[in-house]
Amino acid sequence: MAAAKSGITAPIKPAVWDEAVRLLGQGYNITEITEMDGMPSEATFYRNIDANPDLERRIARARELGWDRRAERVAKEAVAAGDAALGRLALDANRWLLAKMNPRKYGDKVQTEISGPDGGPIAIGVATADLPTVIADILKAAADRADKDGSDLA
What would the 3-class secondary structure string for 92-119 be?
HHHHHHHHHHCHHHHCCCCCCCCCCHHH
Q: Are residues 53 and 125 in the same domain?
A: no
Same-domain check for residues 23 and 46: yes
Shared-domain flag, residues 102 and 121:
no
Per residue in 61-99, pLDDT (tens digit) is 998 898 888 888 888 888 888 888 888 888 888 888 888
Query: Quick check: 36 pLDDT over 90?
Result: yes
Characterise 150 by phi-psi region: left (phi > 0), alpha (psi -120 to 50), beta (else).
Answer: left
- In which domain, by residue range, is 43 found? 14-106
CATH number at residue 64: 1.10.10.60
Position with higher pLDDT, 2 vs 28: 28
Q: Can you give the pTM of this predicted structure?
A: 0.55
Whether residues 56 and 124 share a domain: the answer is: no
